[in-house]
Amino acid sequence: MTAQLLLRGKRGAWGALLLVGALMVWEKGWTMDMEHFKLENGLNVVVVHDGRAPVVTHSIWYNVGSMDEQEGKTGLAHMTEHLMFKGTERYPVGTMDKMVQRKGGMMNAFTSYDFTAYYQKVPVTELAPMMDIESDRMENLKLSDEVFLPERKVVAEERKLRTDSDPTDRFFEQVMRRHYQHHTYGHPIIGWGADIQNYTFGDALDWYERHYAPNNATLILAGNVTAAEVKPLVEQYYGRLKREDVPARAQPVEPLREGEIRFVRVDPQVQVVSWNRWYRTPSAFQGVAGAEVVPGEATGLWVLAEILGGGASARLYQQLVMEQQLADSASASYDVVRVGESTFDISVQPKDGVPADKISAAVAALVDELKSGGVTEAELARAKVSLKADEIYARDDPFISVYRLGMWVTAGGKLEDFNRWQDELAALTVADVNRLAQTYLTTDTSTLAVLAGHTAQLGSVAVTPEQ
Ligand SMILES: [Zn+2]
């Protein structure tokens, strides 16, 4: 029923045909058909018009995620997401999903670092009952130890299955904890095992009551609807909810540090070596160590990730996989939209028999070359076209539009700025990209994380001692 997403900006490859189409749209410019209004109780409403199919995605986004959790109570955002399916007086447990199915739709939810979201995809004619369900459970969730205790077991089991029994997941949970030593991004979304065992029904109830309110949420509707059509329905169902006192969101900061962090592990369960370097970077909403955001930097880093590791024509793949034949895969990724600072990640899967120290040296040489020699005009132009193509074609799916918008607004973005990246992308120069590479691809403030199956795969890279 529930899905948990760890958002890392991976992108698919697009064919030549798509690029031609994108160039045509590029010429014309491109914006989403989007309307916005706000209810008196503070609920933000966004309507994305897409008339191609008689369906609508009805989604509600709360400005709360695992980053808002306290030490000792990690995982409460995700736990509450589970409890939201436990029913209300009017919709007892099990009846919501059955009704959505009967109406020909589907429903789900997800919890991330920055947000918690719920959605249903239904025929346009079934929008009203979805609003009834979602507005009802924003205020009237029926919680008791009777529903809480068995669900806590379900979540503990989910953690065992997903994390404790998966060597890669287990490893990256520990990498996050080391990379974010002060920022709450260091907590796993699902929560630490001991915390899950220890929190109570009262903790979950408190979380729900503090964060679930119309003035802490955005309703996003996408499909064959307009604001004029849906406004009376939104008023009818959501307008009755009361505004509540919601605590201001804490803005945790990871202080600056000196020296690289290394986390190197050997796990006999692992077959394929995973080599990773995480650089500290600003997101669109927060700079490194709480610094002010510099407009355009996030878009520039997005382009830099594309040039360095966005696909088979990018530098990492060309040099490590094709030329030097050291790796089976090599890529870079970067998340633009985060409430807090972001990371710029390089990930390499070495070829069988190539030790991790060789990868460290090859990546270091490649990054040094990039910082001293810079990127070319051709690389920049190709990256711009490719990223714009990805965005345009991704948004062919209204659900992806909803997802991007939801992330944007829950991170604190204004709707009128949602398409700002297009102007920033167009204005970006080679000098901008080079300056970003020189500023942010600094090894001595980065985290090196390597997971191998046995020590021979590490070469001279030392295993991190147990703490
Ligand atoms: Zn779950």
Q: Confirm if 23 and 386 have CB atoms less than 8 A apart.
A: no
Cα–Cα distance measured from residue 420 to residue 403, given in angstroms and rounded to the nearest whole number? 17
Quickly tell me which residue has 């949602």 as its tokens: 418
pLDDT at 61: 98
Backbone angles phi, psi at 47, to 5 degrees: -120, 120
Ligand 1: centre distance to CA 272 (Å): 27
Ligand 1: centre distance to CA 360 (Å): 36
Ligand 1: centre distance to CA 94 (Å): 16
Q: Which CATH number fits domain 261-458: 3.30.830.10, 1.10.1270.20, 2.60.40.3500, 3.40.50.980?
A: 3.30.830.10
**For each successive 10 residues of the chain (467 residues), what is the average pLDDT?**
34 36 44 89 96 92 98 97 96 93 94 98 96 97 94 97 96 97 97 96 96 98 96 98 95 94 97 97 97 97 97 96 98 97 98 97 98 98 94 83 95 93 96 98 97 96 89
pLDDT at 53: 85
Interior CA angle at 221 toward 216 and 226, to 5°? 125
Cα–Cα distance measured from residue 35 to residue 415, given in angstroms and rounded to the nearest whole number? 9
Q: In this structure, what token pair is assigned to residue 49?
A: 């018009």
Cα–Cα distance measured from residue 439 to residue 447, given in angstroms and rounded to the nearest whole number? 16
Ligand 1: centre distance to CA 3 (Å): 6
Ligand 1: centre distance to CA 148 (Å): 14
> How do the domains of the chain map onto residue ranges?
2-16+30-238, 261-458
pLDDT at 412: 95
Ligand 1: centre distance to CA 327 (Å): 34
Ligand 1: centre distance to CA 164 (Å): 14
pLDDT at 16: 35
Domains 2-16+30-238 and 261-458 share a fold: yes
The answer to whether the Cα torsion of 294, 299, 304, 310 is positive or negative is positive
Ligand 1: centre distance to CA 61 (Å): 17
Question: Can 158 be counted among the known catalytic residues?
Answer: no
Cβ-proximal residues to 377 (8 Å cutoff; 6+ apart), any chain? 430
210 burial type by CB count under 10 A (0-12 exposed, 13-18 middle, 19+ buried): middle
Q: Confirm if 166 and 231 have CB atoms less than 8 A apart.
A: no
Architecture of domain 2-16+30-238: 2-Layer Sandwich (3.30)
Ligand 1: centre distance to CA 100 (Å): 20
Q: Confirm if 451 and 168 have CB atoms less than 8 A apart.
A: yes
Ligand 1: centre distance to CA 64 (Å): 16
| C-alpha distances in Å from residue 242, one per residue of 90, 139, 441 | 18, 9, 47
Closest CA to 401 of 31, 5, 26: 31
pLDDT at 391: 86
| Residues comprising the chain, all counted | 467
pLDDT at 353: 96
Q: In this structure, what token pair is assigned to residue 218?
A: 């955005």
Ligand 1: centre distance to CA 78 (Å): 6
Catalytic residue among 27, 35, 71, 81: 81
Ligand 1: centre distance to CA 159 (Å): 8
Ligand 1: centre distance to CA 107 (Å): 14
Ligand 1: centre distance to CA 314 (Å): 36
SS3 sequence, the chain? Answer: CEEECCCCCCCCCCCHHHHHHHHHHHHHCCCCCEEEEECCCCCEEEEEECCCCCEEEEEEEECCCHHHCCCCCCCHHHHHHHHCCCEECCCECCHHHHHHHHCCCEEEEEECCCCEEEEEEEEHHHHHHHHHHHHHHHHCECCCHHHHHHHHHHHHHHHHHHHHCCHHHHHHHHHHHHHCCCCHHHCCCCCCHHHHHHCCHHHHHHHHHHHCCHHHEEEEEEECCCHHHHHHHHHHHHCCCCCCCCCCCCCCCCCCCCCCEEEEEECCCCCCCEEEEEEEECCCCCCHHHCCCCCCHHHHHHHHHHHHHCCCCCHHHHHHHHHCCCEEEEEEEECCCCCCCEEEEEEEEECCCCCHHHHHHHHHHHHHHHHHHCCCHHHHHHHHHHHHHHHHHHCCCHHHHHHHHHHHHHCCCCHHHCCHHHHHHHHCCHHHHHHHHHHHCCHHHCEEEEEECCHHHHCCCCCCCCC
| Axis-axis angle for helices 145-159, 76-83 (nearest 10) | 120
| Axis-axis angle for helices 356-373, 430-440 (nearest 10) | 140
pLDDT at 30: 56
Q: In this structure, what token pair is assigned to residue 52?
A: 């191609």
- Mode of pairing for the β-strands spanning 44-49 and 34-38: antiparallel
Cα–Cα distance measured from residue 404 to residue 45, given in angstroms and rounded to the nearest whole number? 15
